[in-house]
Amino acid sequence: MAFLSGLSAFPITPTDSDGVVDVLALRKLIARLCAAKVDSIGLLGSTGTYMYLSRAERRRAICEALDETRGRVPLVVGVGALRTDEAVHYASDAKALGAAAGLLAAVSYTPLTDDEVFEHFSTIARESGLPIVIYDNPGNTHFRFTPALIERLGQLPGILAIKNSADRGDAIKGQLAHQKKIVPKGFSIGYSGDWNATEALIAGADTWYSVLGGILPDPCLRMVRAAQHGDYTEAHRIDATLAPVWELFKTFSSLRVVYAIAELLEICSAEPPRPIKPLSAAAKCQLAGVLDRLGSGVGS
């Protein structure tokens, strides 16, 4: 699908302390992304804390986001769950409501084998009818997709893309080249891991699945467009201006930082779901200084 390229922006899902979605805050976040003209929106990703939300609240978030986009931006929705039958329900909900694709991780408590993950993905894709993006997120799931498994999954109808974790910038070029050899033509290969996104895009990745893009889309979109147009000097320049943000991501986690950015920029006020705690006052002050130095570079 053509929309699985460029910048896929992943916003937080603001909720109250009971896990009920703050509809007005979510719609405000989605409206910013639509106004920036991101290529797609990644709703209910890890940044959207999908694993902390009930089925009803996931449905509520999808409905509100789709209503706010009014068809302007495709929605990729996180549909992961520990149980296959639950993930089928989430994917079926997303399909029925109008999502363009589902983002599926190999969520587990008991370690999974390749064959178990293959069956999990094939069942969800087949029974829901929702196009699926493989989400390789070993830092959270403790499962890493092998090249052999990616090749098997890539042959299945309805599985059309992969979101890789760019945890090692020096490994991206080789990994990307190999994946292009083993997946079908038109299969989209993308990366998360914001601080290595520039290198991934320059190496030829189709998509940047961005945490920062979900709250500050403008500089992220400029970086993507520069890389797409072959202006690697400009892409590196923008990336360098965002380096202080990347350092905060590494130190405090991107999730905590983007919640604090939303508050500091008065976009919305929410805290991550417990037991995750928000940034400390000292860390928030450090972040405020970074945002102040970025100034107009962060966009509206």
Report, as residue numbers or ranges, the catalytic residues: 135, 163
Q: How far apart, in whole angstroms, are the C-alpha atoms of residue 267 and residue 265?
A: 5
Please, are residues 133 and 103 in contact by the beta-carbon 8 Å criterion? Answer: yes
Distances 89 to 77, 86, 100, 119 between C-alpha atoms, Å: 13, 5, 16, 16
Q: Residue 75: helix, strand or coil by DSSP?
A: strand
**Which phi and psi angles does 209 have, rounded to 5°?**
-90, 100
Sign of CA dihedral 72, 231, 133, 109: negative
Q: How far apart, in whole angstroms, are the C-alpha atoms of residue 173 and residue 202?
A: 9
**Which phi and psi angles does 78 have, rounded to 5°?**
-65, 130
Q: Is 47 known as a binding-site position?
A: yes
Q: Which amino acid is at 140?
A: N
Question: What residues are designated binding site for pyruvate?
Answer: 47
Question: What residues are designated binding site?
Answer: 47
